[in-house]
A and B are shown apart, each in its own frame.
Chain A
Amino acid sequence: MAQYEKILLRNMEQPGYRGSLHEYERTGGYQALRKVLRDLSPAQVIEAVKNSGLRGRGGAGFPTGIKWGFVPKDHPGPKYLCCNADESEPGTFKDRQLMERDPHQLLEGILIACYAIGAPVAYIYIRGEFRLGAKILERAIEEARGAGYIGPRILGTDVGIEVYVHQGAGAYICGEETALLESLEGKRGLPRFKPPFPATHGLYQKPTVVNNVETLCNVPHIVNRGAEWFASIGSPPKSTGTRIFCLSGHVKRPGNYEVPMGVTFRELIFELGGGMRSEKPLKGFIPGGASAPFLTPDHLDVKMDFESVAQAGSMLGSGGVTVMEEGTSMVWAALRLMEFFYHESCGKCTPCREGSSWILQILQRIWAGGGRPGDLELLEDLCKNIEGRTVCAFGDAEVSPVLSTLRYWRDEYEALIHQAEATRTTKGEIPVLTM
């Protein structure tokens, strides 16, 4: 089995590492921040991140340096950095570990990002259920403040940065960056339409960068070891660095695995993850969190980088790989995911709001033995009418399990419908009173 150098998980995998400031500093922590404040201009930091090829780890994979570059340099008012720690994607649990086990790595990344974009304030918007993570971050912020890393004059320079933790209230949609900003402003967490983008009109309509936890954790390492070093990891030029993949489902060793981008799904599932949990073979897997379309065993040799997975018809997304063995009903899997999306649809856009309940009811009916001919065509049509017609990407996400299972396992749906047809006693769909 190949051994890969761990970057983000390195510290926490040392025996006895508890993530205190002292321990973090001993492993070279906050050296990047010192270097940045001492030697680099904000433009140079942005340049380095651009050159590293770092792309967002939250799901969409937007190049981080370019995002930072969009923030107007000479904006007179305040600017903000928001760390998106609302990790709610089913099958994804990397940010939680990064925050709970090595909070200072994140804080250092946040501080460098703030310096780069000129933001005096950063908010960590953390998922409401992550109470422990919030507590740990609060404590880490206090430690860092005590050591002069956070405050009005960081390490004696003129740079002042404040970091606050804000706990969400349990809505998946608040992981969407603009809904996150609305929620942070104290409003109902509904996505905003774009443009304008947060880079110019973000929190309180001020220039704002929203970055994922894992993205920001990479930043100190890029500063310490250079953009070239980072750009050489993974499958350059488009997918550089490592990713933490969250392996779950019917495998022997579920968990977080940090590997360079570009390893294959086969390697992740069968070597790192130890293969399937039982004798049953692999039936399918979700490659990048619940929003990503399913893939099949035929895709096991697809490289885990942004382009390759997209080419295979799915997306690398948040890095949550959920594995399903033979014998799993894919109709049930789609139904289960649809229940989640129905529950979490914020209700802002008509197609997503009404479509999620409609699709869910059809799936429930099919699963309960009430399927009818034409249901599958209707499902596909409804999905097509949601995709690309909503403010945020939730609409695209909610149809992906249905569309992809229909693509690869349509026979399972058809079997259920046939069975229902065979046992149905009445033919008319709406009972009519006949005299």
Chain B
Amino acid sequence: MAEQHTPQLLRVTIDGIAVQVPPGTLVIEAARQVGVMIPHFCYHPKLEPDANCRMCLVEIEKMPRLQTSCSTRVTDGMVVRSNTSPVVQAARKSVLEFILANHPLDCPVCDQGGRCDLQDFSHEYTPTVSRFTELKRIFPKEYFSPLIETQMNRCVQCLRCVRYCDQVMDVKALAPAGRGTMTEIKHFGHHALDCEFCGGCVQICPVGAITSRLSMYEYRPWMLKRTETICPYCGDGCQFTIQQKNNELIEVNSTYGAGRNRGDLCARGYFGYHASTHPDRLRHPLIRRPDGTFREVPWEEALEVAGERLMGIKQAHGGEAIAGLITSRCTNEELYLFQKLMRVVLGTNKIDCSARYGHVNGIEPLRRVQGAHRWTVTFEDIVAADVLLLVGTNITETNPITGLKVKEAVKRRGARLLTLETLLPVRGSISNITTLSSCHIPVHPLGYGQAVNALVKAMIEQNDVAPQIREQAVEFYRTIESVLRTCSWEDLECDLGVSRYRFFEMARIFREAMRAVVLIGQGVLRASRGADIVTNLLDLLLLAGHHQRPGCGLGVLAEENNDQGAVEMGALASYLPGPVSLSDQAACQAIASLWMEELPQGPSATLPEILNQARVGHVRALYVVGENPLASLPPSFNVQEALERVEVLVCQELFLTETARHAHIVLPACSYAEKDGTFTNTEGLVQPVRRAIDPVGESQPDWAIFSALSVVMGYPIEYGSAKEIFKEIQSVIPRYALLGPAPTPPNVHQDVVDRYLHGDFQVDVTQRYTWPRLSPKSEKRLTLILTQSLFHSGKFSTRAKGLLRVQAEGTLLLNSTEAARWGLQPGGMARLSNERGAVSVKVRVLDRVPEGMAFFPEHFDHDIRILFQAEVDPLTQVPCWKQTSVTVEPQ
């Protein structure tokens, strides 16, 4: 048989084994392909080669001296000798001898022991007696940071940590200091390390020089049981490995290349795992005594009481008197089963989930304009994009790993980044995506509607509208053009404080893109009329002609791990699993026949509606799963009144939250670490969640509780495992039958787009593009905004001791000019007040906060909530309340 030789591939022989690899392949990678493992310290596939450790030397025919295989790219016909060359073996031995000369050999107390490259290679190459009889270099121990520990005597100076921090994270927190043998890895400044705490340096260190303080001295690697699962915090859906010893969580890490995160994690993922096993976890079912205290009861009793009381309400007042709220942190199986239980057993359509706090503002426009309720792009498309438009997202802090994809596109592939964001492009200890922007327009949190108006207007006015739209959808763009004529550039410039030419520039770059991806964050999704802004951005995509182009699309960044899944499981008002709209009779009927049940015919209700109805007594029983409306909404929303009014409040929770304290029956549920199931990430990938530890106390997975409750109530919907539920989900939602390591994004439905372009857009076009003028900046008041922090996600992470070491309390963040204006000292206290109340908070100066504003992390909003007033979006029923205005005085 003639030898196969593709012209694009190069032939290489490594240790006598022939292999064909594409041009540009490094010798070390070519060798890996044929099973020749070349030892190395400094090389890592994520990083640019540095060739400093000299461990990977190989002999290459026709080349002088030994070459580093990590930096040499293959050429056709290259002959490489690695393990078969005595010269190479001797060279590696000598490199190890050099490294070990100053190494402390403290393996017995080193956390890396047992999974250390230096240990493994030493075992493979060096004799047991060292020729080094001189003095060892010793670095005195220095405190490094609350979470990351360095032990520089163990360092092999491969600089992987430094390079990772720069090349992947774009944080540049670490640097080598000193020269020669005195080189040590340090951070900048005379204080403890202050960085993103992504844990990347710990993960990438080949030896025990950088380790995690959370698990110091707690284990040997072979004692740990590993479970691959999905991070429970944001919607990025990072895959990580939980490692436990005797049912205790010891460590979390992520294998190189694993999951959508490709092995990268953020602080929440890497250091936030203790939240699951916090001592405050509920261990037993509780029933409230008349005096308000709780008593522990056996499961049987709790379920019986809960079942009886819920059924009692159903029988007396009908299913419509019962409503359910569930958190999007639950698995798909649980969300699905919850809505099925509520509909089939309790006979109500009044179900809602935490996607209501913002994610629906993205879902509704996507369904309406392009017929697909999820991303039509993937993380790979973000990396491959040539233009990225980020609107209202401080992506590093909300969706750090999606942020890494953006960084990769910009830093390594030269994509152009456009940002509409409140943040100012000021560098700091945490990376700020706007500093990478080639066109950044600062936008007031209330000004996104106008900013998008300006962008659309700029695109139309400079004739950037794609020819196919101009020809085939004349009506569409003419209408938008005429609506926007009423919105003058003078007004826009005055309100936004930005020249129109910036918008012309941004529109031009966006129009010229070959692969444009728009990402929308909480700044828009939680804003009043967020859905209108998203629809207008979809208009922008249509006008630029990008909607059909491969690799182009609009993504809505999910805040919670399973926001997308919650929507698709039908745990959302007015939707059945699919999501199928309740108004779609045929589709509803199909689901009913699959379930072989009658669907309730009563009205659905959203979260604000449910609370309102509870307050006036229309909803008499409330089943709340993992949701904590009392802490998620400001006091002015009167949640407390609603909770006190209902006759039956069943809470299924990890902790005795503010809401759970009002419950009549509290059922202890398992966290993500104790159960099986699936999460759907922000790009729509369904990923398996696996049980890593035994349930804490008597807690049960939510799905098991629903199942048991259905039995108690006499309408058994029983499942033996989460997998059985998932099978049913697959039969109801065909998309869930397509599982894989990467998402298969849906196509834009051309018929839906056509319907939109030729008529549907008109329904609200005037209203969508009409935005109230921004009131001029007040000299006497400060705009206070609740924002998300990189170190926390919702309130769940505030139970993680690792994250609390980095951020244990909320501080008022404002820039130095603003701090000086109000006479505030960094570290001092400020008193914030408005007509609703007053609170005292600590002050921190952060120069990326724009003038006239102050940020406060929402995770610690317990006291500050009283200053806010919620306003419910009339269209999507999203409660918007993340900003207010206050007066400030030093205290």
**Considering the chains assembled together, what is the distance between the CA atoms of A342 and B178 in angstroms?**
13
The reply on B804 being an interface residue by CB < 8 A is: no
Determine whether the beta carbon of B134 is less than 8 Å from that of A361: yes
The reply on B715 being an interface residue by CB < 8 A is: no
Q: Choose from A350, A362, A388 the contact partner of B157 (Cβ within 8 Å).
A: A350
Determine whether the beta carbon of A389 is less than 8 Å from that of B91: yes
Determine whether the beta carbon of B54 is less than 8 Å from that of A389: yes
**Considering the chains assembled together, what is the distance between the CA atoms of A385 and B57 in angstroms?**
12
Most buried by B among A347, A356, A385: A347
**Considering the chains assembled together, what is the distance between the CA atoms of A353 and B176 in angstroms?**
14
The reply on A276 being an interface residue by CB < 8 A is: no
The reply on A357 being an interface residue by CB < 8 A is: yes
- Point out the residues of chain B lying under 8 angstroms from A361, CB to CB: 134-135
Number of interface residues of B (CB under 8 A): 36
**Considering the chains assembled together, what is the distance between the CA atoms of A5 and B94 in angstroms?**
51
**Considering the chains assembled together, what is the distance between the CA atoms of A149 and B97 in angstroms?**
56
**Contact segment of B65-73, B635-643, B703-711, B824-832:** B65-73
The reply on B745 being an interface residue by CB < 8 A is: no
Least CB distance from A66 to B in Å reads 18
Determine whether the beta carbon of B134 is less than 8 Å from that of A351: no
Name the residue on A nearest B49 (C-beta). A193
Supposing A357-B180, A389-B57 touch, asked if A350 and B52 sit within 8 A by C-beta, the answer is yes
Determine whether the beta carbon of A391 is less than 8 Å from that of B52: yes
Determine whether the beta carbon of A345 is less than 8 Å from that of B134: no
- Which residues in chain B, 94-109, are within 8 Å of chain A measured between CB atoms? 94-95, 97-99, 101-102
- Which residues in chain B, 494-531, are within 8 Å of chain A measured between CB atoms? none
A-B contact pairs, 7 of them (CB 8 A): A342-B181, A346-B179, A350-B52, A350-B157, A354-B101, A365-B134, A389-B54
- Which residues in chain B, 16-55, are within 8 Å of chain A measured between CB atoms? 49-55
The reply on B549 being an interface residue by CB < 8 A is: no
Least CB distance from A206 to B in Å reads 15
Mask, B65-98, CB within 8 Å of A = 1, is: 1101001000000000000000000010011011
Q: Choose from B51, B95, B157 the contact partner of A347 (Cβ within 8 Å).
A: B157
Determine whether the beta carbon of B180 is less than 8 Å from that of A429: no
Residues of chain A having any CB pair with chain B under 8 Å: 171, 188, 190, 193, 342-351, 353-358, 361-362, 365, 378, 385, 388-391, 429-430
Q: Choose from B52, B66, B98, B175 the contact partner of A355 (Cβ within 8 Å).
A: B98
- Point out the residues of chain B lying under 8 angstroms from A388, CB to CB: 65-66
Determine whether the beta carbon of A357 is less than 8 Å from that of B91: no
Determine whether the beta carbon of A350 is less than 8 Å from that of B55: yes
The reply on B132 being an interface residue by CB < 8 A is: yes
**Considering the chains assembled together, what is the distance between the CA atoms of A133 and B533 in angstroms?**
62
The reply on B183 being an interface residue by CB < 8 A is: yes
- Point out the residues of chain A lying under 8 angstroms from B180, CB to CB: 342-347, 353, 356-357
The reply on B767 being an interface residue by CB < 8 A is: no
The reply on B131 being an interface residue by CB < 8 A is: yes
Mask, B109-145, CB within 8 Å of A = 1, is: 0000000000000000000000111110100000000
Name the residue on A nearest B90 (C-beta). A385
Determine whether the beta carbon of A349 is less than 8 Å from that of B54: yes
Determine whether the beta carbon of A188 is less than 8 Å from that of B176: yes
Mask, B149-193, CB within 8 Å of A = 1, is: 000000011000000000000000001101111110000000000
Least CB distance from B631 to A in Å reads 48
Name the residue on A nearest B134 (C-beta). A361
Determine whether the beta carbon of B98 is less than 8 Å from that of A351: yes
Supposing A193-B68, A361-B134, A362-B134 touch, asked if A349 and B52 sit within 8 A by C-beta, the answer is yes
- Point out the residues of chain B lying under 8 angstroms from A429, CB to CB: 133
- Point out the residues of chain B lying under 8 angstroms from A355, CB to CB: 98
- Point out the residues of chain A lying under 8 angstroms from B94, CB to CB: 351, 385, 389
Closest 10 CB pairs of A and B: A354-B98, A361-B134, A385-B94, A347-B183, A345-B180, A193-B51, A388-B65, A347-B180, A357-B181, A348-B52
Name the residue on B nearest A377 (C-beta). B131
- Point out the residues of chain B lying under 8 angstroms from A171, CB to CB: 179
- Point out the residues of chain B lying under 8 angstroms from A347, CB to CB: 157, 176, 178-183
Name the residue on B nearest A387 (C-beta). B65
Determine whether the beta carbon of A385 is less than 8 Å from that of B133: no
Supposing A349-B54, A358-B134 touch, asked if A193 and B183 sit within 8 A by C-beta, the answer is no
**Considering the chains assembled together, what is the distance between the CA atoms of A355 and B95 in angstroms?**
9
**Considering the chains assembled together, what is the distance between the CA atoms of A82 and B55 in angstroms?**
32
Determine whether the beta carbon of A350 is less than 8 Å from that of B99: yes
Determine whether the beta carbon of A351 is less than 8 Å from that of B95: yes
- Point out the residues of chain A lying under 8 angstroms from B135, CB to CB: 361
Additional A-B contact list (4), CB under 8 Å, known A347-B182, A362-B134, A429-B133: A188-B176, A193-B50, A345-B179, A385-B95
**Considering the chains assembled together, what is the distance between the CA atoms of A64 and B863 in angstroms?**
72
Determine whether the beta carbon of B132 is less than 8 Å from that of A353: no
- Point out the residues of chain A lying under 8 angstroms from B181, CB to CB: 342, 345, 347, 353-354, 356-357
Supposing A171-B179, A385-B94 touch, asked if A350 and B156 sit within 8 A by C-beta, the answer is yes
